[in-house]
Structure 1
Amino acid sequence: MTNETVEQMIALLKTPELCDLRRLADEHPLPWAEFVKLKEPAGITQGQAWDILNTLRRQTAIELPFRDGEGRCGWYYPTRSIEADLDEIDKRCHAGSLLDLAIKSRNTTYFLIEAHVADAITIVQEDGLAIGYEKAREVLLGEREPENSGERLLLNGHQAIWDLDDYAERPCTPELIFEMYEKISKGVDDQTTPSRVQQSLNWKRKRLDSLAALSLVAKLVEENREGYDEHPLLLGMAVRHIVMSTLPLPSWNGTMYSLLMKLLFKKSHLPVLAFVPLVKTCREWESGILRPPSVMASLADSEVLIGNEVDYTIYVGVMAHLARQRLDEVENELKRVIKRDEAFVQALRDDVEINHRQRAVLQVALSNPEAVFKIESHQMMHKVAYATARADLLKLAELGFLRCVRSRRAFEFRVTPGLRQLLMDHAKDEES
């Protein structure tokens, strides 16, 4: 290469037009449709300017941790917009964040179910099942027992979420994944409906046997952000792609990949991200419900073939921004639930029918729908006569807030399903 050629290259890199292109590409993902409207440097074609820009971007790109079925590499360029979205997710989703503490301090079971019934429905739809919103809500809130395999799978999947903290303390291995699979498939018939196989225009499916696929998934979950440059959100998308493109488990791969994504977020110390309805968001974008201009690009335009590699910058930009938007919605929903809780708790305080001891019982019941209350325990806790403790609990049963059942020789009082709605209705009746 002659000195003259080198000088021409340096001069090209310094031109205002190329500097403007680089600045825009640094700021946000730059689709071809936007690029063609921009002015290229004099003396080169539009295609040459595109190749030069992509060559510069590729130098500091982040590679995906695996290759496709044809051995090709995938990568994305970390623009400032992508980094801003991912940094905001980190700040608000990490263990001990204000949002994490707010979720833990409230009735997490109710909040998770009530706010994310639609996401739970989408998860079972990944394996070809269809469940209506109200039926799903009734099952998840414990208002009735599952009536079929689809409803049982829905409930098993949500119950498995409460074991994720325990799973997060153990190394993620194929054996652990099969243990989780056994739990979610207990009492569920074999799958007869087709799963939604993950496909891509440019990224060719890799043919992996079940053990190889699960080993790769386990490695992503276990090493997460300590072993990879990618953000846990993007590793979660990788878990989704591997599971739904290879279907390594005998059945219910859709429910399993959702749990594995949540486990990855737990292990990455981003527990709040497990509350974000990512599955529903992905499907809305992929099906075209979310499309430009509400998102940067359609799924078809989010993967760009650059030479013999796949540029995922647009894809990552869309997913990071959608995840941040959904996080906003989760936070707003939590604030609404807290405000509503405070309103009806205040109403209960003003209710002359319910004393302070009974209010304490109801607060425990709201925080733990599986709680069981006994007369002797209530008596000892509040230092009252047996007859007073008995009258307290029987009154709550009379109001419908607790269920009185006989256990051996004693009475037990269990939380009535749908307690929160019952309390809200009671508070409204008292106001009217």
Structure 2
Amino acid sequence: MKIPLTPPSLNELMQEASAETLPQLARLKLGPLAYGHYLHWDELRHRTPPEGLNHKIWWLALRLARSVSANTLPFHDKQGEVFSYTLPEPLLKNLHEIDRGAGLVPGGEDSAALRADQGRYLISSLIEESITSSQMEGASTTRRVAEAMLREGRKPGTLSERMIFNNFEAMRRIRDICRDTLEPGHVIELQRVLTEGTLERREDCGQLRTSDDIEIVAPNNERLVLHRPPHHSELTRRLQVLCDFANATDSDDTFIHPIVRAILLHFMVGYDHPFADGNGRTGRALFYWYMAKQGYWLTEYLSISRILRKAPAQYARAYLLTETDSGDTTYFLLHQTEVILKGLSALHQYLQQKQREQAQLSAKLRALQTSEKQLNHRQTALLAHALKRPDEYFTIESHQRSHQIAYATARADLLGLAALGLLSETLHGRRKKVFYPAPDIRQKLESV
């Protein structure tokens, strides 16, 4: 990837303009968008400008339109320049769609169904985010091994497994760690949980960085340095500003949309890089915390890291567009809201698919009854999983964690399926019971 070209300075743009130019720009009524997009200079210079304008005058018009509606933030870059953002129509539209789809505004049947069975989906979501967020930072354990470790509650055996386990614990405990208000100590504790047992220098765990040898390089190109964070001596003050921003209450003249505030928490942790390692995971965890705190309960089921991992260069570029254009965080806000919307779309598709599968399987399993009752939804979910992965095994502990139920309930579920011949029971070691799908499980279900 390439670093975006820095736009011409305002002085250079004003020198390009003539006395007749500015009135002409006013008459054209050019807004902050170009071709319907919030373009950076690096993209704009390749587009055809409006008739009668060159690229620099066109960019000047956009800069003036954006500055009129810009909102300043309490954050500053390394040179002391203030960060800001605007609310162009594409961003407003994204925020509205997230409001509707992320649970703040009461949804339809999908939301009701998800709330009714949230334990099962929440644990799957936490596992997904834990794995992909850690993989973004270098964890290399296969998904199946990592998922089995988390569902069974097994202790991590490798560095990669430890990273994933830590991320799972942090996501599970984040509300307890951060409580109702955010303090610098909470952020540091969150980083400690995320990095414990994974760093070369143990002293970097649970501590602000004490050096300035940090360089953020391009994905798959360690020679291209994209960002050098602020001096370590500034971190204590900058972290306090971050916490004050998270705890601020909005008055009529200082309202910041909650999603904007959550994304900016993520952005500033990435920009400041207050820790030697774990900054990306810490920033994303704070995003989840603030969204949940503000009532966006559905975001707890999202895995934004899964989408970011598919296009890491776009994630890095969103930072670069902001840094090269006078601290305009609108680029990052647009990118992140689009990521959230993709996550919501994937979640709703997943939910609809699971509902269809559950209905189809329930129809097949309706006749399979014990002497007392039909199979419950947890048992049918396990059987659906067993049909997809016939080589996988289940334990009472993994079933308990997957559905957030009591040990006795999980035990009864598995023993009931074994009694019907759908699972085969065996011992793993001396005491631990393991249940495998019966070799003829599909035939038994098909015969229903």
| TM superposition score normalised by structure 1 | 0.70
**Matching residue of 1:281:** 307
Distance apart, 1:250 and its partner CA: 6.7
Residue 267 of structure 1: how far off its partner (Å): 1.5
Contact 1:25 1:79 in 2 (8 A): no
The structure 2 residue matched to 1:50, chosen from 31, 52, 59, is 59
Asked whether the equivalents of residues 64 and 230 of structure 1 are also in contact (C-alpha less than 8 Å), the reply is: no
CA deviation string 1:103-144 (max 9, x = no partner): 3322544x3454675643332235433222222222233285
Letter in 1 for 2:139: L
SS in 2 for 1:356: coil
Distance in 1 of aligned mates of 2:323 and 2:189:
38
How far apart in 2 are the matches of 1:422 and 1:113?
A: 22
Among 12, 24, 44, the residue aligned to 1:12:
24
Superposed structure 1 runs of 4+ greater than 6 Å apart: 193-196, 199-204, 224-228, 363-367, 400-405
Instruction: Note if 1:162 corresponds to 2:172.
Output: yes
2:74 corresponding residue in structure 1 = 65
| Displacement after TM superposition at 1:165 (Å) | 4.7
Number of the residue aligned with 1:317: 334
Task: Tell me which moved more, 89-98 or 258-267.
Answer: 89-98
Q: Distance in 1 between matches of 2:331 and 2:274?
A: 28
The match for 2:407 is: 372
Q: Contact between 2:302 and 2:343, CA under 8 Å: does it hold in 1?
A: yes
Q: C-alpha deviations, 1:1-20, integer Å up to 9, x for none? A: xxxxxx967852454xx23x
For residue 354 of structure 2, give the secondary structure of its aligned residue in structure 1: helix
Distance in 1 separating the partners of 2:153 and 2:297: 27
Pick closer, same or farther for the CA change 1:126–1:216 going to 2, 3 Å: farther
- The answer on 1:430 being equivalent to 2:445 is yes
Q: Which residue of 2 aligns with 1:125?
A: 135
Contact 2:132 2:305 in 1 (8 A): yes
Q: Tell me, in whole angstroms, the C-alpha distance in 2 between the residues paired with 1:404 and 1:45.
A: 76
Q: Is the 8 A contact 2:32 2:65 kept in 1?
A: no
**CA gap 1:314/1:394 in 2 versus in 1, 3 angstroms:** closer
What secondary structure, in the 3-state scheme, does the structure 1 residue paired with 2:408 have? strand
Aligned-partner residue type, residue 269 of structure 2:
V
Q: In structure 2, what is the Cα distance between the partners aligned to 1:237 and 1:64?
A: 13
Cα displacement (A) at 1:275: 2.9
* Same amino acid, percent of matched pairs: 17
- Pair 351,267 (structure 1): closer, same or farther in 2 beyond 3 Å: same
Paired residue for 1:106, among 102, 117, 127? Answer: 117
Provide the secondary structure at the position in 1 that maps to 2:90.
Answer: helix
- Give SS of 1:63's match: strand
In 2, Cα distance between the equivalents of 1:361 and 1:54? 56
Describe the superposition over 1:293-347 as per-residue Cα deviations: whole angstroms up to 9, x where unpaired. xxxx9558734745xx233434433332232122111111121122222332333
TM-aligned CA distance change 1:320 to 1:253, over 3 Å: closer
Instruction: Return the alpha-carbon distance in structure 2 between the equivalents of residues 283 and 224 of structure 1.
Output: 33
Superposition map of 1:126-165 within 5 A = 126-142=136-152, 144-165=154-175
Q: Following the alignment from structure 2 to structure 1, what is the Cα–Cα distance between the partners of residues 111 and 403?
A: 18
Instruction: Rate the CA distance shift 1:284–1:404 in 2: closer, same or farther, 3 A.
Output: closer
**Would the alpha carbon gap of residues 298 and 86 (structure 1) be closer, same or farther in structure 2, given more than 3 Å must change?**
same
Distance in 2 between residues matched to 1:394 and 1:279, nearest whole Å: 37
- Judged with a 3 Å threshold, the aligned counterparts in structure 2 of structure 1 residues 277 and 240 are, in CA distance, closer, same or farther, namely same
Which residue matches 2:285? 259
Of 331, 341, 348 in structure 1, the residue corresponding to residue 348 of structure 2 is 331
In structure 2, relative to structure 1, the CA distance for the partners of 1:83 and 1:427 (3 Å cut) is farther
In structure 1, C-alpha distance between the alignment counterparts of 2:227 and 2:157, rounded to whole Å: 40
- Are 2:226 and 1:207 aligned? no
Letter in structure 2 aligned against 1:302: L
Q: Where does structure 2 lack aligned partners over 5 or more consecutive residues?
A: 1-18, 206-213, 219-224, 382-398
Residue 351 in structure 1 maps to residue 361 in structure 2: no
Q: Within 1, Cα distance between the matches of 2:32 and 2:284?
A: 37
Separation of aligned partners in 2, 1:372 and 1:241: 41
Q: CA deviation at 1:426?
A: 4.8
- Cα 1:77–1:160 change in 2 (3 A) is closer
Residues paired across the two proteins, number: 386
Q: Is the 8 A contact 1:239 1:260 kept in 2?
A: yes
**Match status 1:239 vs 2:256:** no
Aligned residue number for residue 186 of structure 2: 176
Counterpart AA for 2:171: I
CA distance in 2, matches of 1:10, 1:246: 38
Letter in 1 for 2:92: E
RMSD across aligned positions (CA): 4.6
Question: Residues 65-86 of structure 1, C-alpha deviation per residue, up to 9 Å, x if partnerless?
Answer: 3010101223333211111011
* Residues 359-378 of structure 1: CA deviation (Å, up to 9, x unaligned): 38848978734422279xx9
Question: Which segment drifts farther, 82-91 or 207-216?
Answer: 207-216
Q: Find the residue that maps to 1:51 and give its secondary structure.
A: helix
1:60, distance to aligned residue in structure 2 (A): 0.4
TM-score when normalising by structure 2: 0.68
Instruction: Flag the 1:220–1:35 CA change in 2: closer, same or farther, 3 A.
Output: same
Cα distance in 2 between the residues matched to 1:190 and 1:57? 44
Tell me what 1:302 maps to. Answer: 321
